[in-house]
Amino acid sequence: MKKTTALTVTVLAIATLAGTSVAQSTDFFAQAPSAAVAEAESPWENPKLVHTLPTQASYAKFSSNGLLLVCNGERGKAIQLWDVKKGELLSSIKADDTTYFGDVAISPDGKFVASIVYSQIDKSIGVGLWNSKTGEAIWKQPIATNSVEFPSQSNFDEISLFSHVSSLEFSPNGQFIASSAQKNFSSTNRLIQLWDVATGEKRFGLRSNIESLRKLRFSPDSQVLASLGFNPDGPYNHKGMIQLWNPNTGKLLHTLKDDLISASMVFSPDGQTLTSLSKDGMMYDAHLRTWDVKTGGTLRTVPVGVDRTDGLLSLSPDAKTYLASGDVAGTRIFNTQIGKNWGIGGGNAVHSARTALFSPDGQMLAIPRAKEILIWQAFGN
């Protein structure tokens, strides 16, 4: 593997479970319950706030079994790994004074963590991979140089923390990392990179038709990569777009267009369909739209409830449950199958949050905010 010394990292602690390291624990990386099982058990009628993680982060990801959470904690200055059940910090890989982290991800087997890396020295953006057990830097590769403007750490407040947009995903088979990064929130970016996890080599550079890329997601069989974002449609409007790629060839398979702004997406467990959650930027219109992955055709569109001020939307893996949050209506979880919704957090659960994410089984919810990460659990009664 290609080593790098461009980034200085410090491991604060590696916790153990029953004498086994985090990366090796069979408990941590056992098979997670399926979304179908979770759906049959219960909706989010009585959610419970189980942990408030004391760290400032703008990005987070659950492990494949939902037992770990990785985030760009300490205001983007550390890749932190948390025990979701206990709410305990397991490890922290710290950046040096000239570097901070964007989006993060953990490999399906838990052996590696990856992050988008921003450097103040050369105003560069890169992708890095680390050993989750030891904190050793495995490789780091550039995405862009001399392209980023950001303040010094002394002025790194919550506004700065959310000023850069990036996306990073491991493929479920552990072979690829997909990345995309913008130099600031309002800039355009059409580029996606596909990296070989084992070697750090770039397999493909994909140029999409999406000006503002926001999310990346692999299908469960790792054979399709979906990229989500939006394009301007006149001076005051935007329209959503999802593009499907073959990660083995770099070929564009389908372009899925939406008349609303696409905010979140999930593949079905068999990878045959993709469901997106979209909303009008200024009005109350919103829908769930399900696409046929093989043909790119629309299978169904279901109108859903939102408030005009809802700026944060997140779709659960069951493709029927979603979170919506805004200044007026507060934070709610909707279940379209039974037609109900429930408020959480006293209406202020996602203040200063830019993202919210459900665990792979749909039973946990993480909300990174400027001051902490909230962890909610379904069946809180």
Please write the tens of the pLDDT for every residue from 253-305.
999 999 888 899 999 999 999 999 999 866 778 999 999 999 999 999 999 98
Cβ-count burial 342-381 (b if 16+ within 10 Å, e if not): eebbebebbebbbbbbbbbbbbbbbbbbbebbbbbbbeee
Q: Which of 17-21, 124-128, 206-210, 353-357 has the highest mean pLDDT?
A: 124-128
DSSP, collapsed to helix, strand or coil, labels residue 347 as helix
Which pLDDT score is estimated for 35?
Answer: 45
Q: What is the mean pLDDT of the chain?
A: 83
Please write the tens of the pLDDT for every residue from 332-381.
999 998 889 988 876 556 666 778 999 999 999 999 987 899 999 998 65
Please write the tens of the pLDDT for every residue from 105-135.
999 999 999 999 988 888 889 999 999 989 9
Which pLDDT score is estimated for 147?
Answer: 62
Please write the tens of the pLDDT for every residue from 143-197.
887 666 655 544 444 434 455 678 999 999 999 999 998 765 455 567 899 999 9
8 A C-beta contact, residue 2 and residue 200: yes
pTM to 2 decimals? 0.86
Which pLDDT score is estimated for 3?
Answer: 42
Question: What tokens were used for 156?
Answer: 């790194």
Comparison of pLDDT for 23 and 291, the residue scoring more: 291
33: nearest Cα among 81, 67, 77, 76: 67
Comparison of pLDDT for 349 and 202, the residue scoring more: 202
Helix count and strand count (H, E) for the chain:
3, 30
* Max CA separation in the chain (angstroms): 59
What average pLDDT does the segment 210-215 reach?
81
The sign one gets for the Cα dihedral 35, 56, 308, 229 is negative
Distances (CA, A) of 235 to 208, 216, 228, 232, 256: 22, 26, 21, 7, 22
**Residue 160 within a domain:** yes
Cβ-count burial 51-71 (b if 16+ within 10 Å, e if not): bebebbbbbbbbbbbbbbbbb
Other residues' Cβ atoms within 10 Å of the Cβ of residue 107: 23
**Residue 300 within a domain:** yes
Which pLDDT score is estimated for 160?
Answer: 47
CA 355 to chain centre: 8
DSSP, collapsed to helix, strand or coil, labels residue 181 as strand
Query: What distance in Å separates the CA atoms of residue 341 and residue 320, rounded to the nearest whole number?
Result: 12
**Residue 171 within a domain:** yes
Mean pLDDT is lowest, of 12-21, 161-170, 307-316, for 12-21
What average pLDDT does the segment 45-53 reach?
91
Domain count, the chain: 1
pLDDT at residue 245 is higher than 90 = yes
DSSP string, 82-120: EETTTTEEEEEEE--TTEEEEEEEE-TTSSEEEEEEEET
**Residue 247 within a domain:** yes
**Residue 273 within a domain:** yes
Matching residue, tokens 């904190």 = 135
Which pLDDT score is estimated for 232?
Answer: 72
Query: What distance in Å separates the CA atoms of residue 60 and residue 37, rounded to the nearest whole number?
Result: 24
CATH of residue 121: 2.130.10.10
Which pLDDT score is estimated for 164?
Answer: 62
Query: What distance in Å separates the CA atoms of residue 350 and residue 372, rounded to the nearest whole number?
Result: 11
Dihedral (Cα; 284, 288, 289, 291), 10-degree rounding = 160
pLDDT at residue 15 is higher than 50 = no
Query: What distance in Å separates the CA atoms of residue 23 and residue 364, rounded to the nearest whole number?
Result: 21
Which pLDDT score is estimated for 327?
Answer: 84
Residues with Cβ within 8 Å of 62's Cβ and at least 6 positions away in sequence, in order, are: 68, 69, 84, 357, 359, 360, 364, 366
**Residue 337 within a domain:** no
8 A C-beta contact, residue 28 and residue 63: yes
Query: What distance in Å separates the CA atoms of residue 168 and residue 114, rounded to the nearest whole number?
Result: 8
**Residue 66 within a domain:** yes
Query: What distance in Å separates the CA atoms of residue 59 and residue 159, rounded to the nearest whole number?
Result: 14
| Structural domain containing residue 112 | 16-33+58-308
**Residue 1 within a domain:** no
Give me the helices (H) in 263-302, please.
none
